Chains A and B, each alone.
Chain A
Amino acid sequence: MHAFYFFQCGILRHRGAAVFARALGVGALLFFTALGVQAKPLEVVASFSLLADLVKQVGGERVLVSALAGPDTDAHHFQARPSDARRLGQADIIVMNGLGFDDWMSRLARSSGFSGVLLTVSDGLPYRLKDESGHAHGHSQGHRHAHGSAGQGYDPHAWQDVANVRVYVQAIAQALSTRDPEGRAAYEARARFFLAELDRLDTDIRTALNQLPEERRTVLIQHNAFAYFGQAYGLRILAITGTANHAEASASHLARLVRLIQKEGVAALFLENVRDDRLIQSLQRETGVRIGGRLYSDALSAPQGPAPTYVCLMRHNLSVFVRALAPAEDAPVKAQTPC
């Protein structure tokens, strides 16, 4: 009797416990699913630091972005490591520039077993500049380095024109939204906000550079990374080496540059963060033209440096240009915008 009672209680207890356990389980499942959908960020790998920053601006906390070629690293000649291939294999989205800048990225993606979306941000550009290194010894030296198929001879440094970065940002927002539809509203809002900041940046650059007199607009830089900047904002950019090549210089090329500097009235020489300084210093000794400062061309700086984000990079370069090119008798042209 008691046993039966206990048995019934036992069943009841078991059944109750079972129902309770099941309810608890389902609840936990729903809870963790919800948590998972919200908390698991998209894994995005960008080819170089600049693109990684753009993705971070658009994606915010919904993305976990990293760059293969980090700050102050030359992405033209990037040597991938096994850990890079592993990271690519696990990524949801890969973002690369294209135009021959980072062809190693698509090769690496293929070999790493990547199965997500590969976004080439330069596909939607309204215009591209041809690679102008015909006269320089860059391409005539042959492609000694694995900088890819040279993108059909296009200059890949499109991010130096802020208008092109608007296209990049829109492409990134589109790709993120496609992969993560729940976040579409967030991505678009952040993109709008960032585009407004880009517009302010573009206006500031134009305002500052329009004040330069005509004879102070020719500059010489280490490699031909600023053609888009020059064309968009009115500077004449000369370069020692072509868009990617920087192998051994020849004496005749340097001699041509010296004559060019003297003839064309170059206002200042500029160093870069991812290039060796010695040739520019050699030209400075030869011609007496001053070195205007160090520009950030193909990579962001370290976080504590002057160009940790794209906007900071452009503003830093702008201030370097303005300080070097403004005629001596003018007062400082604009206050530095902190970034």
Chain B
Amino acid sequence: MHDTALYTLFMAPFADFAFLRRALAGTLALSVGAAPIGVLLLLRRMSLMGDAMSHAILPGAALGYLAFGLSLWAMTLGGLVAGLAVVFAAGWVSRSSALKEEASLATFYLVSLAAGVMIVSLKGGQLDLLHVLFGSVLALDDASLYLMAGVSTLSLLGLAMLIRPLVMDCFEPAFLRHRSRWSGLAHYGFLLLVVFNLVAAFHALGTLMAVGLMILPAASARLWTQRLTPLLALSIGLAFLSSLGGLLTSFHTDAPAGPAIVLCGGLVYLVSLLGAPHGLIRPRWPARRHLAS
């Protein structure tokens, strides 16, 4: 059994190398936490906001790095504070000025990204900047794994509590605001979960690609089904599939691991676009004539 091509291709890398098993465990934890969040971002039309926020956490992580070096807790805490600050600042600006939320968020995230790059350049050379931008999924230590597992547990619990107000907010925001005080709480609670997931993901995949495991699987899943529960489950499955595929690709073709995972997610998306029921082709395919008609 150990000699079959299938085993060598799919199982052997993980059986032989602990660092690949850790990478798989970390990305599985990320998938479970981030993909459902991505679905909700998609449904609430906030997908680009997820991307913006992944850059907004950079100056906080950079400050943590400046003060404590490549310390997990310092960078996580810094990233969290920066992400939340940008979220609240953008929300406040959008309510107090002529700019809508997406515009104010765009301004804040651009400023934060530049500030983050500048802060990192202050301390060291380009190497450190690259590690912050790209993460290091093949070098996850125990602390990082615990962080990712903890965040994904937190996400699941948070989503379980907030799913109903959030979904209702997607479709009938006025109704929800009218009927319950949960609307504001749900919105900010959700944003908090987004920031947590991004901060956890950025250690593995870096700020540039942390949002990759959030949006791509969600978008792909959306092309397959319209119902919420299958949507959530399928997004987790596709995220995990992308991670697995990315790690195996990195192993067999010597490609860097982080980008391989996100590109795999892109491949899944492409396949979904072409082959899924709600993608590009199937809705336009001429329907088979039913015998009766």
Contacts and interface: CB of A to CB of B under 8 A. Distances in A.
A339 B162 CA distance: 63
Given A276-B128, A282-B19, A286-B19, A253 B136 contact: no
Contacts of A282: 19, 138-141
Contacts of B257: 248-251
Contact of B13 (A248, A255, A286): A255
A78 B125 contact: yes
Nearest to A247: B130
Contacts of B253: 250, 252
A285 interface: yes
Given A276-B70, A276-B128, A250 B254 contact: yes
Contact of A145 (B23, B126, B134): B126
B138 A279 contact: yes
Contacts of B18: 285-286
Contacts of B182: none
Contacts of B254: 137, 140, 250, 252-253
A251 B126 contact: no
Interface in B108-153: 121, 124-128, 130-131, 134, 136, 138-141
Interface stretch (B33-41, B212-220, B244-252): B244-252
A257 to B, nearest CB: 10
A77 B127 contact: yes
B144 to A, nearest CB: 9
Main secondary structure on chain B at its contact with chain A? Answer: helix
B20 interface: yes
Contacts of B251: 250-252, 255
B66 to A, nearest CB: 14
Interface string A44-77: 0000000000000000000000000000011111
Interface residues of B, number: 34
A149 B159 CA distance: 52
Interface string A94-120: 000000000000000000000000000
B183 to A, nearest CB: 42
A133 B256 CA distance: 17
A278 interface: yes
A246 to B, nearest CB: 6
16 contacts: A74-B125, A79-B125, A145-B126, A247-B130, A248-B256, A249-B138, A251-B13, A252-B252, A254-B138, A274-B127, A278-B136, A281-B139, A281-B141, A282-B139, A282-B141, A283-B19
Interface residues of A, number: 33
B16 interface: yes
B67 interface: no
A250 B253 CA distance: 9
B165 interface: no
A254 B136 CA distance: 12
Nearest to A76: B125
B259 interface: yes
A302 B121 CA distance: 19
A258 interface: yes
A275 interface: yes
A251 B247 contact: yes
B202 to A, nearest CB: 14
B259 to A, nearest CB: 7
A254 B247 CA distance: 12
Interface in A12-52: none
B255 interface: yes
A162 to B, nearest CB: 27
A82 to B, nearest CB: 13
B130 to A, nearest CB: 6
A246 B139 contact: no
Contacts of B136: 249, 276, 278-279
Contacts of A249: 136, 138-139, 256-257
Residue from A145, A277, A278 whose CB has the most chain B CB atoms within 10 Å: A278
Contacts of B256: 141, 247-250
Contacts of B255: 250
Contacts of A248: 130, 134, 256-259
Interface string A235-260: 00000000000111111111100100
A76 B126 CA distance: 9
B138 A79 contact: no
A223 to B, nearest CB: 10
B131 A276 contact: yes
A73 B122 CA distance: 11
Nearest to A77: B126
Contacts of B124: 73-74
Contacts of A137: 254
Given A73-B124, A248-B134, 8 more contacts: A75-B125, A145-B126, A247-B256, A250-B254, A276-B136, A282-B139, A283-B19, A286-B18
